[in-house]
Every structure is written in C-alpha cells, then in structure tokens.
Amino acid sequence: MRIPQTPLPFSKLMTGLEKPDQILKVFQAVGDSTCDGRYLHWDEIRFRKPPEGLTHQDWWLGLKMRRRAAQRTIPLKDTKGNHFHFSVPDLVTDLLHQIDRGGGTFVEIPEQINNAEQRDRYVVRSLMEEAITSSQLEGAATTREVAKKMLAEGRKPRDRSERMIVNNYVTMRRIVELREKPLTPEMVFQIHREISEGALDTQDGAGRFRRTDEEIKVMDEFKGTVFHVPPAADELPARLKAMCDFANAETPFIHPVIRGIILHFWLAYDHPFVDGNGRTARALFYWQMLHARYWLFEYISISQFLRKAPAQYGTAFLHTETDENDLTYFIIHQAETIRRALKELHDYVARKSSETRACLDALQKHPELNHRQQALIGHAVRHPGFAYNISGHGSRHAITYATARADLLSLAKRKFLEHRKIGRAFVFVAPKDLEVRLRR
C-alpha cells in the first residue's frame, strides 16, 4: 500500500482563478461531485482526461466545489484541529437504500432467520466468521479451518493468534448484550479489555489509554512508511468522550449506517490503545448498528471482505486524510462492504435452504428429533465421516454441556451417529450411509 498524492488545498485552487466568470465556468463544466458515478480522489483524477476546456486542476476544483456545497461537518477533529466532514452523493444514497432494505433482494431471509430453530445456528456462524477474520486483519496467523474447529469445540487457545480469535468471539457476543445501552468510555474500555486480554505485547495494555511514553504509529513495518500518526495521548480522554457523545446523539440526524461507519473511522483514527484498535473500531460499528435496531447485522461479517482486500481498506483511510478530511471515501468503501456482506448472507441462507429441503423427506420420518439434532443430521448427511463432540455441539447452539451430551447420545442410540473413542475423548462420527439409515 502506498500513500496517495495529496491534492492542493481548496483555498489554493481558488486563488488560481482570478475572475468570477472563470469560477462559474468551472462550476458549470463539472455537473456533480463524481466522475462516471464514482467518488474519485485526486490521485485517480490526475490520470483521467478532464472535461473539454478544463485542466486537471480546474476539474478538481469543480469537483471540490460540488462536494463542499453538500458537505456536513462532524465533531471529530484531526491533529491540527480541523474538522472531518462527509457528503451523501447519489451512490451513497443508493447503497444506504439497499442496506435499509436488507440488501435489495432479501425477501426470504427475515422469515428463515426469525425461525427459532435456526436463529442460533446463523448467529454463531456469523460471530465465528467475524471473530476469525477481524483477528486475521490484525495479524492473527491461525487458519480459518483451525480457528473454526477451535471455536466449535470450545478448545482453549494455544497461542496469541488463537487467543485473539477467542477474545473477538467472546466480545462479539458481548456486543449483542450491550446493544440497548448508550455508549460510554467505560463501555469502550470494557470492549477493548475483552478483545485484547492476554493477546498484547504490552502486558498491562488491555482496557486503558496508551500513555505518553508509548509512541504509536500506523506504518509498514517492512518499508518503514508511516501512514498515520494519531493524536497525542493527553488528548485521548476528551476525544473519547466526544466520540461517545456523537454516538449517542439523536440530533442532528445522521443515517445510522453512516454514524456507525464514522464511529469505526473515529476510533481507528484516534488509536487510543497500544494495540487492538482495529478490532475495537469494528466492534463499535456493530454496536451502533444493533443499537439502531438493524437486527440483521447480528448475522453478517464485514471483516471477511475487508480481509480479502486489505489495501483498499487502508486506502479508504488514506484518501480521507489526504483530501482535507473528507470521510465520504471511507463511507463509500464501508457501505459497499456492508452490501457485499448482506449479499453473502442471502446466498448462504438460500444455499442452506436448498440443502435442508434435500433431506427434509428423510427427517420428516423422525419427528422425535429436536431442531438442534435435525441441524446436525443435515450437516452430517453432507459431511460423511465428520466427527462431532459434545463441547462443539454445545457451542454451535449456545446450550449447556448436559443438553449437548443428551442430543448426541440420543442420535448415537438411534444409530444416526457412531459413538467412538479417540485417545481420551469421545466423538460422534457421521456414518457414510446416514441417508439410508434415516429412510429405514
């Protein structure tokens, strides 16, 4: 990732045009704040062909005039005391509309997710995915497969990477519990403490501000390029209080999705902790969405998409900082990520619905099975030879060890699972002829 070229400040662009008619010509030649429907930074504009009769600088000035006319200022300030701001061009309005509707094509999802028999399975899946990929974004080296198995089985973490993932998983569950409460500095410390406990180089760094003697920079450790220097440590208490006030404010109205995205950016910009800032920032985004009654966000993971293109994630931060604190770049990037996450959920539910229908006839012959057992059988049909254990079954469905044990022993008694001992542990293995056994 590289630092984009910083454009000339708006004030200097204006001094280049001496007569009012020149300014009007530029303003009229640039119809809106986008280029072919995209909200481009100067670093991209400078390589494109400008409108007829305009230089690149004129074109950029026209775009800036359009953007500044629609911008809204927020309380967040940079290290020089300048406010951040954003605008809502048509492409953002469209993205917000799709998110408000649940992704545009989510006709089936509410009925299926609200089904009490499937709710826990979807929630646990999304929490696991977010916990794993959010940690991997911050350097956790554990693979997705190993991490999912660890969380599913309830196994204790063996190293720092696994500890990061377990902490994230526990914290995401906590966010669901905290969604009704207003955001306070104490809650932010609690979230950070749960996310980072036992997973920091600084032993006492969890749940406290970084100190003045702890120099923090966001940089490329291999090339030494510094991308961001956060505010001084002595400013952090006031800045965190301002962030919480912004999160809890009802006026002036800011769309909840935009408010959540700004919270994400705000905490990441301030970098108030020695480590774990990114994970905490993403957790605050989820708190805001659930707090604002966007219940579907309990079921999606944004970090899995951020991890697929981390450079674009970082560039969205840099575009904002290098273009006079214009948060619109970051808002667009995050809104597009949210839309993709919602689409992924839709596809996942549709796929699982199809798979469920495939074994429905067989399961209908066994009404004595509860919804957890039916979910396990549905998975076992598709994964012959898969080994289940009591802790993993309990974790997947958020039930007690005794209930999980009873579920599996009942299935083994009916010969739907094979009860085996591997080492010192008992497991329940999906037989290869499970479908045949179900139809008998």
Question: Any idea how long the chain is?
Answer: 440
Does any domain span residue 94?
Answer: yes
180 with 237, same domain: the answer is: yes
Residue type, 212: T
259 with 129, same domain: the answer is: yes
Full residue range of the structural domain in which residue 129 is found? 74-349
The predicted structure's pLDDT at residue 103 = 46
66 with 95, same domain: the answer is: no
Q: What are phi and psi of 187, to 5 degrees?
A: -70, -40
The CA-atom distances, in angstroms, between 334 and each of 47, 72, 74, 244 are 25, 18, 18, 20
Does any domain span residue 236?
Answer: yes
Sign of CA dihedral 7, 8, 11, 14: negative
The predicted structure's pLDDT at residue 312 = 95
| CATH classification of the domain holding 177 | 1.10.3290.10
Lookup: tokens for 243 = 């962030």
The predicted structure's pLDDT at residue 83 = 98
Nearest to 321 by CA among 39, 82, 74: 82
User: Using CA atoms, how far apart are residues 393 and 404, in angstroms rounded to an integer?
Assistant: 6
Does any domain span residue 2?
Answer: no
Number of structural domains the chain divides into: 3
322 with 406, same domain: the answer is: no
Beta bridge partners of 420: 427
DSSP notation for 217-249: -EE-TTT--EEE-PPPGGGHHHHHHHHHHHHH-
Residue 341 CA, chain-centre distance (Å), reads: 9
Does any domain span residue 241?
Answer: yes
23 with 130, same domain: the answer is: no
163 with 230, same domain: the answer is: yes
Does any domain span residue 5?
Answer: no
The predicted structure's pLDDT at residue 355 = 63
Longest dimension (CA), the chain: 89
Sign of CA dihedral 155, 410, 419, 362: negative
The predicted structure's pLDDT at residue 75 = 97
Lookup: tokens for 117 = 């028999």
Q: Using one digit for the tens of pLDDT, what is the confidence trace for 36-66?
A: 899 999 999 999 999 988 899 999 999 999 9
Choose one of 22, 38, 70: the last residue of a domain. 70
Residue 150 burial (C-beta neighbours within 10 Å; 0-12, 13-18, 19+): buried
Nearest to 288 by CA among 165, 189, 188, 164: 188
CA atoms within 13 A on the CB side of 433: 5
Nearest to 324 by CA among 113, 60, 52: 60
CB atoms within 10 A of CB 139: 11
Kindly state the DSSP code that residue 38 receives in the 8-state scheme. Answer: B
Q: What are phi and psi of 150, to 5 degrees?
A: -60, -50
The predicted structure's pLDDT at residue 348 = 79
246 with 105, same domain: the answer is: yes
User: Using CA atoms, how far apart are residues 401 and 392, in angstroms rounded to an integer?
Assistant: 9
265 with 169, same domain: the answer is: yes
Beta bridge partners of 310: none
Choose one of 301, 316, 349: the last residue of a domain. 349
Torsion of CA 347, 349, 352, 353, to 10 degrees: -110
Sign of CA dihedral 289, 291, 258, 260: negative
Nearest to 386 by CA among 132, 118, 152: 152
Does any domain span residue 4?
Answer: no
| CATH classification of the domain holding 411 | 1.10.10.10
150 with 285, same domain: the answer is: yes
114 with 231, same domain: the answer is: yes
The predicted structure's pLDDT at residue 122 = 66
Does any domain span residue 255?
Answer: yes
CA atoms within 13 A on the CB side of 223: 9
240 with 166, same domain: the answer is: yes
Distance separating the N- and C-terminal Cα atoms of the chain: 59
Residue 300 burial (C-beta neighbours within 10 Å; 0-12, 13-18, 19+): buried
Nearest-10 crossing angle of helices 160-178, 144-153? 60
The predicted structure's pLDDT at residue 351 = 75
Choose one of 330, 349, 368: the last residue of a domain. 349
Nearest to 273 by CA among 185, 169, 181: 185
Residues of the chain with pLDDT below 50 are 103-110, 117
Does any domain span residue 355?
Answer: no
DSSP notation for 319-369: HHHHTTTBTHHHHHHHHHHHHHHHHHHHHHHHHHHHHHHHTHHHHHT-TTS
User: Using CA atoms, how far apart are residues 366 and 77, in angstroms rounded to an integer?
Assistant: 62
The predicted structure's pLDDT at residue 126 = 79
User: Using CA atoms, how far apart are residues 176 and 348, in angstroms rounded to an integer?
Assistant: 22
Q: List CB contacts of 177: < 8 A, sequence separation 6 or more.
A: none
156 with 225, same domain: the answer is: yes
